Structures are given as structure tokens and as C-alpha cells.
Structure 1
Amino acid sequence: MAEQDVTELVKRLEEASHLKKHGKATKITCSIFDRPDVKLDSWKFNEWDYGKSKRVLPCSARGLFIQNADSEPRIVTRGYDKFFNIDEVQRTSWRSIQDNTEGPYEITVKENGCIILIGGLEDGTVVVCSKHSTGPRDDINRNHSQAGQQFLEQQLKEKNLGLKDLGRYLYEANCTAIAEYCDDTFEEHILEYNRDNAGLYLHGLNYNTVGFSTFPMAKVAEFANAWGFKHIDYFTTEDSSSLKTFLTECEKAGHYNNQEIEGFVIRCKDKSTGGTFFFKYKFKEPYLMYRQWREVTREYISTKQRVFRYRSHNYITNKYMDFVIPLLDRDPKLADDFMNGKGIIKLRKLFLEDYGMSGLEILNLDKIKELEEAENHVENVIDENTKFLLVTIATIGCGKSTVSLTLNELFPESWGLVVNDNITSNKTDYIKSALQLFKDGKQFVLADKNNHQFRERAAVFEWINQYRDSYIPYNCNLQVIALCFVDEVSPEMRALTIDRVMKRGDNHQSIKSESDDQQKVLKIMQGFMNRFQPFLPSKDPDNKFDFHIQLEVGKNSSLKNTITVLKELQRNYGDVIPSIPDDSIVHQAFERALNYKPTITKIIKGGNKIDKKQHKPVYFSANVIDTDLLLQHVRKTIETHASEYPSLLKSLDSTPFKDALHITLYHKSQIRSVGIKAKQMWAKYLDRYKEYLSKENNSEATKNIIATEDSVSFKLRDLIWDKHVILATVSLLDDTHPIVMPDGTHLDHLTCLNKVPHITLALFSNEKTAKYSGELAKEVYEFGIQESDTDTGMISLGTTDNLQFSGKVCINL
């Protein structure tokens, strides 16, 4: 490894760490287990920065650890360059694979665990890393690198091999061993790894160089044999055509060698550079079916509410829920373990055993296929009855309205258009209006809105699930397609879109660049661009789209984007677009779109109206009655683990617990985010406490809290904290009817709207508000505590006391 190359790399990484957003590098300095005197710098970039054709990163390695950065820098461990699923980005489309890569194509089975990087120092010390950290940590309850090292030590001991022998070998060879740690006793994923097949599955040996260079699989297999690693199945094919045939046939079968697998990783060469090129081919099934079962179970445990319509596998998922709900309701520990990532596979296996089939048998059984097809959630047959919802993802001035109007002008009989800026009522009318057009006979509907953030895209699917049955026949296939106008917000794009908006003047529903102050318009546009979150097809909620089309923003791009949409729909859906109109017809439609004049001026109005003679509540809460007793038991739990988590004690020394504690039952902001049922619930709260809200009864103008006579009983569940906050999640004694009147009667129409009821105990920084507590609690209960990409250092501790506490229902103004 050329020292000057690594020195230059460190210099470029440090420069990138000072960038504000795009291409920003993040450095985390770590100690290692056996040599606390040795410090390694772990480097990473934001997820959306990898793989951008217009952005050149100093290094695209996922997992990069550098020693002696200030003097004689050396790469100690290096992961693979970030690689993508088939069709996830342009260069992993089959056309690009065929045109731009060459064999031999090494096909390796993709195991389902957590990645472990293993390197060595000059003295033979072995360095074991997870993707972005290594060494002791007191801010997590599951240390992947430590678990990986412990298993490595065990496997070497079984072969009578020394840890330092491995460390010296890796140091002298200047390479990193890359393994998948699969062990359900440590952490469950989707596929099962019991004691018989748990272990470190070696799947790569990378040279510790700035550029990506890796050993052939034959050498990897030799290394695995020599050092006691488990093998990754692999084989080779010479051409991309036979490769594609093999992969598609395996996916149709849903397995490889009669084993459920996640998919394959393919290694080949880039024709133009001769460099190594990786891509993956992930199976949709049964992996997605199992993942859906896991997520709907978590949702049920969190909310105690069951849904009956799912995005796929509707019939069998309902059978699964019929089976597991009684088990979860009878056994709170089963539910608690599930939310902490334990017993997920066990619960799935119990269902499969009861049903008498394996996951593969369920997917392949003709009768099940017929039932699923009848409910239109597995087969997804594309025919004349299929409906297509095209959802735009953009920022202001990208041309989304022009493209949408042009497409609508081309096919006025079969295409419909909903422009969000024309909607002046409820936010949900954006999707309800689109669904109404399907009901009116349209096959394609364009839903024109920026949808520039993940939460907005998530809301699209929430509203579809909530309202589709009222507008679309139950057996109708709905394909939801993303039209992605923006890949990244570049300086060029900023300048171009601002210029467009200024030139169109007042020809817009809400942004009047001619009448309004120019600085106001610029501030609005900059806000949208700064908040923009790129489309990530492998992440929720963007992975819920059935298909996405990548468009461009440039001079005269709208006409080109219109053609791109039609061609991509034709390529992916065949006969639904039998032919693309002649250029002259497209141009005429485009001109009509450019001449469009909006007839509506959008004015933002307030939401729920409350009588002026009443106080206006912001949220309803259960305020803890005996705060001292509750905090006494919180401190007891923390002190029990004081030696494990000294960072928490340090934080609490400088930031004491809050004096007043409460559980938020319902915040006004949830009216918009949760949906129609939440709006109805808000009305019920207002009705229940209307006497308290009367200004005649509570006339003090400065009063911020009104205490009622109703109460809520609860128990502490878990303590969760990170660098920003510490909170306690709670179990309400009656999840569905938690509020009790003075006579002991439960109110059967009022519930807690938070999926994970909790109490914010203290805020450690000014960067976050109390709202962040709810987001953190939900994240932990949905995904568990892991060494996540964000390295937030979350910790969760279960409380051991079984004390019951009470809170007084209060109205917060």
C-alpha cells in the first residue's frame, strides 16, 4: 500500500468532513479491544451519497478504518465499495450489466446477518470491526464487533490456531477478511441460523488499498478452510445471458438448493476500467413475506390494532395474524421479546408448523396462489383493469406540473391529474381525489406534489391503505410508481429552478414570484431544497413503490422527461402503453401544458375550529402524580447498571431529571399525521372535557394546564437514551381504554394515540425537543437497538420493578 496514497486519502476525507451536506464525510475515532492505546478512525458518508454518478467520493468503501492518520496512515480494515441491487441504479440495470461488464461472473450466496471486518496490526493484534465501529462501547446493548471477535476466537481455538497468527497473516498480506456473522442467539434477522449453522461466513478478502481490489472466490475458499470460517457457496458463469437465466429461475423457485436464501452477490469486471464490479440480486420471496410478518406483528404489539389489508400476501398474512394475535395477547413476555428482536423466527415457525407447510410450500401451493390472486396481492397481474398511480418526487421548479399536464393532455380519456396546489381543504384529499379519478374510470392518475421528504411519501401509502377500499374494487391491482425528478440538489439545479420560478411570475397557485417579495419566494424554495430527501428504493417508505422512473432537471428537460415516462412505462408494463404518440402530437400537448393558467389561489387555513369561548388545547396528557417515587425507581435501575454505562451518569450530573413528568395521550399535530380516526378521536376528547375547556369555568388567561378528575394507571417498561434524551416507555394498564373516571369506570372511547406511550425524563441537549422522545421510542420498538448507520449510541434497559403509578389527565394549552 503506497503510504502517500493513504495520506492523500486522509487529506481528502478531512476536507470532506467540513462539507455541509452532499459528500460530507463523518469520522468516528475508536479504541480496539486488545490494545486500548491504539486508535482507529472510522470513516463513512451519508447513505444517499454512495453511487451518485455526478459525485466522486474520496473512497466508496462501506467500512473504512485508518490507523495513525496524523503521521504514517495505514488502512487496517476496508470493506467493499458500496454496491447495489439489480435495477436499483442505472448501472445495475440488465442492459448496463450486459453492455458494461464482462466475465467470469462469480455468483455467491448472500447470507443474512451482520457484516464483520477483520484486519491485523504489525504485532499480530487482530482488529474486528462492524461496518462503522470497533472496540468497547458503553452506549449500546449489542456490540457487533465484540460478538464477532468472541466467535472468531472460539473458531480459531477449535482448530488450534492462534489469534495473533491470523493478525500477522492479515497484516503481512495487507488485506481484510470480510464475514457475515449469522447467529440467532446474538441477533435475529429474517432467515434462521440456529446453533448448527451459526457462525462467521467468510465471503471476501479485500486488499487494504484506496481503490477497491478483492481476491477471487477460490482464494477466499482456501482462506476459509485454513482459518475455520464457514463457507459461502459460489460458482462461476462466463456470460451475462446465462447469469440472468440462472438468477431469474432461482427467484421464480424462491430458493437455491432447496434452501431459503436472501439472494446472491455477483462479482465481475468493469469493461472500461478492468476494475472489480459488484452487484446483488435479492430474492423478493419468501424474504419479503417473512419481513412483512415481522413488521405487522410489531405494529400490532405497539398499537393493539389489527389491519386486514396488506401490500402483498394478503390471504396468508391474515392467517398468520389469526394465529399469532391470541399468543401475543396471552403472553406479554412473548410480545416484549419480539419487540427486542428475540423470538421472531420462533413465532413464525410456530405458525408454519400449525399451518402444516414451509414458507416455500405456501408460496408454491396452487390453492394458496389462487386465494392470493383472488385478493390481488401476490400475482399483481398487469392487465386492462390495473390502475396506475404516478407520484411525483421533486422540489419547486423541477417541471413536475408541466410533465404531468403534458401526459394528461396526451391521453385525456384514460389519464387523470390531481394537482396538490389546487387542493385547499384536507391534506388527505390529495390521495382521495386521485382515487376518485380511478373510480370515475381513469386507468392512470398523476398525483402532482413535491413529496420531497420521506414522511410525505410514507403518508401517500398510509392514505392509500386507509381509503382505497372506498374507491377501488377489492380485486383491482394498484401499481404505485414514483416519478423521481431530483437525484440531488446541485448548485446548477438550484440556479435553474430559481430562474424558472422567477420567469413564470404569478402563474402558480401559491408561489407568486411577481406579486410576492422575491426574498420570500427564495426562502420558500431554499426551504424545500434544503429539506429534500433523495429517493432511496431500498429504504422504507421508498421501497413500497412498485416501480420508479428517474428523470432529469435541465434546460428543456420537461419534454424529454415526458417521453422518458412513456418509454419506461412501456418497457416495464408492456401493452398498457401500446404506442408512444408521434413527436408532433407530443409537442402539441407540451405547448398546451406550457400555456396552462391556474384558476385557484391556494390559501392555507387553520384546521379544527374551536369555539372562541373555549380554551384551545394543544395536547392531552397524563401528568405523573408521584414524580419522586417514579424517579426513585428510575435511579435504582440506572445505578444497578452504573458500571456499564458511565456516560449516562455523567449526562445526568449536568442535566437533572425534569420536575414535572407526563405521558402524552394525544397531541393536536397527530390529527394530520394519523388520519381520519385520529380526527374523530380529537373530537371525542374535546367533547369529554368541554366543561374544563370553557373559559367561564377556567377563566385564568395565563393558565397553561387544566387538571381534570380523570386518571391513567401505568407501569414502567424500559429506559431508553442516547446523547440527546432519556425516556421511559410505559405499559398502560388498559391499552384500549386507559382513561378512568373518578368512579372507576373506564372511558371506552378515548385512547392513547402514541404507538409507544412514554415519559421524557430529561433532555441532554438543545438540539432536540420532547417530540424526539416519541421518535426514538418508536424506532427502538420497531427495529431494536443496533449499531446503526447513524451511530446514535442508543441504549435500552428493562426495568425490574412492577410498581403501578398513576397520572392525572390534564389539558395543555
Structure 2
Amino acid sequence: MLKITAGRIETHEIDNPVYRASENKQPVFVQPNVTLDDFLAHLDQHEYVQELKLPHDISSLNFTKKAFSERQWDEINVKVRGLFINMTSKQIVSRSYNKFFNIDERPETRMQHLVNHLQFPVTVYDKANGYLGTVGFNDIKDELVFTSKSYTSHVKQNHHAAWVEELFYATFDEAQVDYIKSYVRDNHVSLVFEVILPEKDPHIDHDQLILLDIVKRQLSYEKEPFAEVKRLSEQLGMRRKQQVAVFYDWTSFYKWYQSVSYDDTIKEEGYVIEDNSGFMTKLKLPYYHFWKQMRSIKQGVADKRSTQKYMQALQIAEQARFYTWLLEQDPVNVRNCSIIELRSQFEQTEAGHLNNDGINA
């Protein structure tokens, strides 16, 4: 406590005897070449990793909600993001990326760290606005494995993985499916997709799978070069992630970062940034942040919660216009429509007002 009086400053300290003692758990470290059995044994000591038992002897490993909320990350729980293991054969049947973070989200993704540690060239890829799904292979069952959000498609209570399988078979013909099956089996890889399903999980686009990367089904994270992603996508006649830019020095990269970070006219979710060593970070753009905030406001209006806190959160004119527009809409429409659909309706209304103003002028 600091007490300030005329011409004098006093400090006072008071012990607080009521608190929760720290458990002082020691971090768990593993060697880079650790076997899968040893790695799984380490997980028993890790409070921020959870195992979910699934059909066909498969378990998915992922970081816990507590790790996310408390921002507790280490070399183990970033590795188990989307890791699916057949516990009978002790084989990884599907694998996605290690957990990676937004710029400024972690010490290692802040600009003052990146300026000294990014290894050039640095490549920027677009980030499609969907959800992540993988296609792996289970040797014991001799079948493809479709996964998303810690589940396989065999778990019917979770729809996202089932939608990956459904869209996969709608996208590829029988010969292509057979080729993909032999490809992921023989090369011990998973195909990592961005899954776009506007009708079921609304985003901006029509139903499609976008090939992001080809990740090796092994404990240490490793993926095929982008040239192989391009080759496979062209052979299968499907979309792939797009390379936006390549930078060969810090100055050009930082100028680009500054130019896009505050540009609300770029109507994309953001970008994935990857350096020459494989280090990855991501940049979310203002347009995405804006509508993410509006989604929570939309939900509050739909649930008829108190509007006072939302009014206090509105910082720019467009937020206030959208909020006012929401209050004028049919509550049933607000409740039943996704934020994407409401955004489209709002932008059409805004465009109509601009046209009318132009005619009146």
C-alpha cells in the first residue's frame, strides 16, 4: 500500500496468510529422439495433456483447456496437438501441426524476439477461414483415418471429423481415393486440410478441402516441402494453400507486417508465417478480429442479455452501426443466422444506404 500525503510518501506492507500454495511442479523434458513408448510414459506426469480414448484402439492426445486458459506451454503439450495414436500397434495414425502462436501472443513471437531469431527466407501463406482436418492411415485396420478437433470420424457425437470424411469422398473419385490411401500409407504421412463447410460450419466460401501440408506421422514434427504439396494438389486437381510472399531480409518483412496489420480492407482471416528453419507463427487481421468481436455481441443480442456492457465495448463507428442494426432485426433471425450470414445482410444494407445517399446527392 502506498500512502501519499502533502510532501511525504509512505509504503506499508501487510502479509496475506490466505492463499493457495504453488505445487511447484517441475517441467517435464524429453530428449529429441525419445521413443513413442517413453514419450507416452512422460505424459502421465503432465497436468496439461489429456488422452481421449476412441474406437479402433485409437487415442487422441491434446493439450487441456487449462493449458490454453493459463497459457501453459512446453515442448510436450505443443507437440500433442492433434496427435492420434493406435495404442495397440503403438503407431501414430494421424498427426497435424505442433501448436503455434499468433504474433505477440508468446515471448518467442514478439517482434523484439523475431528480429533476432527469424531465419530468412521467410514465407507467408494465406490462412483460409475454416477448421483443421487430417487424413491419416491405420495399418491394423488398413484404412484411412479422418480426424478433427481430437476426434475421429468413428465418433458420431462429434460432427467435424465425420464432415471431413464426408467431404473427402464427395471430392475425390475412387481412383483418387486409392492413390491417396497408398500415398499416406507408404510415405507414413498425414494430409492436413483446411475444411470449408458453409452450410454446416459457416465460413466464407463453398464446400471444399484445401490442402495445407503433408506432415510425417512421427513424434518429431516434420513435413514435406511446399513443392510436394503443389505437386500432389495439382495431381488431384484440388485447391492448396497459397503462397502470399517471400521475404529475404528483416526490413522487407517488417514493412509488409506494418502495412497489413492495420489494414481493415483485407477481408481474410490472416496469414501463416514460416521461416527457413520451420518456425511458424500467425497473424490475424483487423477484419477477422472485428467480426470475431461482433460474433459475441450477436450472441448477447440473441440471448437478450444486458446491452450495457456491449455498448461500453463499442469503440469504432462501424461497431456501433452493426450493433444498432442488430437491435432492429427480427430476434429469431439474429438467433438462427451465423455471424457470416448477418455480416452479409448488414453489408448489403450498408451498401444500399450508400447508393441511396449517392442518388439523393
Q: TM-score surpassing 0.5? A: yes
The aligned counterpart of 1:170 is 184
C-alpha separation in 1, matches of 2:40 and 2:33: 10
Q: Deviations over 1:432-451 (max 9, x none)?
A: xxxxxxxxxxxxxxxxxxxx
Is 1:131 aligned to 2:149, yes or no? yes
DSSP-derived class of the 2:152 partner:
coil
Cα offsets for 1:781-808 (capped at 9, x unmatched): xxxxxxxxxxxxxxxxxxxxxxxxxxxx
Name the aligned partner's letter for residue 250 of structure 1: V
Rounded to whole Å, the distance in 2 between the matches of 1:217 and 1:94 is 26
Following the alignment from structure 1 to structure 2, what is the Cα–Cα distance between the partners of residues 26 and 294? 29
Structure 2 residue aligned with 1:635: none
CA distance in 2, matches of 1:178, 1:212: 13
Name the amino acid aligned to 1:337: N
Q: What is the CA–CA distance in structure 2 between the aligned matches of 1:206 and 1:297, rounded to whole Å?
A: 37
AA aligned to 1:30 is L
Find the aligned partners of 1:65 and 1:264 in 2 and give their Cα distance: 26
Question: Residues 551-595 of structure 1: CA distance to partner in whole angstroms, max 9, x if unpaired?
Answer: xxxxxxxxxxxxxxxxxxxxxxxxxxxxxxxxxxxxxxxxxxxxx
Among candidates 17, 21, 46, match of residue 64 of structure 2: 46
Deviations 1:320-358 (A, max 9, x none): 2332323224xx3x24414xxxx4322221111111189
Report deviation, 1:109: 0.5
- TM-score, normalised to structure 1, is 0.37
| Cα pair distance change 1:239/1:137, threshold 3 Å | same
For 1:192-215, what per-residue CA distance to the aligned partner results, in whole angstroms no more than 9, with x for missing partners?
A: 22x3xx311111111112111122
Is the counterpart of residue 337 in structure 1 residue 361 in structure 2? no
Shift of 1:279: 0.7
1-structure distance, mates of 2:156, 2:221: 33
* Aligned residue in 1 for 2:210: 201
Aligned equivalent of 2:52: 28
Alignment partner of 1:356 out of 344, 351, 358: 351
Letter in 2 for 1:327: Q
1:102 aligned counterpart, secondary structure: coil
Aligned residues: CA RMSD: 2.7
Kindly indicate whether the alpha-carbon contact (under 8 Å) linking 1:124 and 1:168 is maintained by their aligned counterparts in 2.
no
CA distance in 1, matches of 2:352, 2:212: 32
Flag the 1:56–1:250 CA change in 2: closer, same or farther, 3 A.
closer
**Is the aligned partner of 1:239 residue 2:210?**
no
SS at match of 1:280: strand
Structure 2: which amino acid aligns with 1:290? Answer: W
Partner of 2:5: none
- Hey, what does 1:219 align to over in structure 2? 228
Q: Aligned runs of 1:53-452 on 2, under 5 Å?
A: 55-57=74-76, 60-67=79-86, 69-70=87-88, 72-122=89-139, 125-140=143-158, 143-157=159-173, 161-189=175-203, 192-193=204-205, 195=206, 198-234=207-243, 235-256=245-266, 260-270=267-277, 276-283=278-285, 285-303=286-304, 305-307=306-308, 309-329=311-331, 332=332, 334-338=333-337, 343-356=338-351
User: Is the CA contact (8 Å cut-off) linking 1:121 and 1:168 kept in structure 2?
Assistant: no
Query: Offset at 1:228?
Result: 3.5
Give the direction of change, closer, same or farther, for the CA distance of 1:239–1:131 in structure 2 (3 Å limit). farther
Within a 5 Å distance, the mapping from 1:606-685 to structure 2 comes to none
Quick one: distance in 2 between partners of 1:139 and 1:18? 29
| Aligned AA (2:92) | I
- Given that residues 125 and 164 in structure 1 are in contact (C-alpha distance below 8 angstroms), is that contact kept between their aligned partners in structure 2? no
- The SS at the match of 2:199 is coil
**Cα distance, 1:16–1:312 mapped onto 2, change above 3 Å:** same
| Maintained 8 Å contact 2:291/2:339 | no
* Structure 1 gap segments, 5+ residues each: 32-37, 271-275, 362-813
* 1:8 partner letter: T
Q: Conserved in 1, the CA contact under 8 Å of 2:301 and 2:326?
A: no
Task: State the 1:139 CA deviation.
Answer: 3.4
Equivalent residues in 2 for 1:480-491, closer than 5 Å: none
**Corresponding residue SS for 1:128:** strand
Shift of 1:310: 4.0
Q: Give the superposition deviation at 1:95.
A: 2.3
Residue 150 of structure 1, CA deviation: 0.9
Q: Deviations along 1:580-620, whole A, 9 cap, x unmatched?
A: xxxxxxxxxxxxxxxxxxxxxxxxxxxxxxxxxxxxxxxxx
Q: 1:9, 1:59 → 2: CA distance?
A: 16
Contact 2:62 2:77 in 1 (8 A): no
CA distance in 2, matches of 1:213, 1:337: 42
Structure 2 SS opposite 1:161: helix
CA contact (8 A) 1:188 1:345 kept: yes
How far residue 311 of structure 1 moved from its aligned partner, in angstroms, is: 2.8
Q: Secondary structure at the residue paired with 1:348?
A: helix
How many matched pairs? Answer: 318
In 2, are the aligned partners of 1:7 and 1:73 still within 8 Å (CA)?
no
CA deviation after TM superposition for structure 1 residue 41, in Å: 1.3
Asked whether the 8 Å contact 2:212–2:229 carries over to 1, the reply is yes
Q: Give 1:9 deviation, angstroms.
A: 2.6
Letter in 1 for 2:307: R
Counterpart amino acid of 1:319?
A: R
Counterpart residue number, 1:419: none
Instruction: Give the match's secondary structure for 1:57.
Output: coil
The Cα of 1:236 is off from its aligned counterpart by 2.1
The residue aligned with 1:13 is 40
Q: Are the equivalent residues in 1 in contact too, given 2:189–2:215 (CA < 8 A)?
A: yes
- Structure number with greater CO (CA < 8 Å, separation at least 6) is 2
Alignment of 1:388-787 (within 5 A): none
Contact 2:156 2:162 (8 Å CA) reproduced: no
- Normalising by the residue count of structure 2, what TM-score does the alignment of the two structures yield? 0.79
d(CA) in 1 for partners of 2:121 and 2:44? 38
- The 2-side partners of 1:40 and 1:200 are apart by 24
Map of 2:14 onto structure 1: none
SS for the counterpart of 2:172 is helix
2:293 partner amino acid: Q
Whole-Å Cα distance in 2 between the matches of residues 175 and 108 of structure 1?
21
The residue that corresponds to 1:420 in the other structure is: none
